[in-house]
Structure 1
């Protein structure tokens, strides 16, 4: 049987255009929040997160969805609220309040990087920890050569040692290597 007629609204459907390139896929969003993609879908089903425009596997979630998901996690973990209580609380909060709540509870990590938020105190601590020292150290440093005599046995020889010390180290090395080789008959 051949269809002669198509749906009347077949040509009238409006095209959505290409999927957005900014934002996060559901797996990326779940990783940033610290939950599974199934949990994100559950939040969508319960109405806790705004539903994005659907593009199949290319559907991307924008900044407000990430902020709401982070707020949900903080309210569950820190305040031990149920999802119904969280939904009610989020419904009474403005977008700016949700953002300030999520950012106040945010620690450094992938979510902070994704949102472009860097804690100034933390950045300063990391910068000072790994920066080059301003003054050279006041202690004297000594360089040593490590001579492996046998597996598990090493000899430390000062790099600027006298020729007598180096000759003695060589004799010790030769003796240990000779003792380690089996006697040939």
Structure 2
């Protein structure tokens, strides 16, 4: 046995009663679909209007989400400011460190040659130790970074061989 075929349905016009058979040759009946009476459909929405409606903004937010952006900004602003202050402070410390390293190198060269020390700044503390042929220089300077770094110092040490004095040469 093969698959069953569905029996075709017989479509009858709406005005004919089911008891009386309709002869198709005598009467031509239109069988097109007529929708029921519907209210007037709204005018078609333009593409731009759909985009504006989709974007919506705060008008379409639920009540539980109101003020969420303000809260996020209130939380993020202090964090961003803290990171900016930390970055500026770190930059200030790095600049001070570079200055002290340069000053220490200049001081140890001048001390090894027997020359006068260069100006190392108003806050610099310099300690020079002659140990035989070696000259050891320690430079200590306060970090200038405002009230956050008021009690911090940077210290750098350098050692060089003392050069023979030019007066001792024949």
TM-score (norm 2): 0.23
Name the larger-Rg structure.
Answer: 2
TM-score (norm 1): 0.22
Greater fraction helix: 1
Q: Which has the higher contact order (CA 8 A, sep 6+)?
A: 2
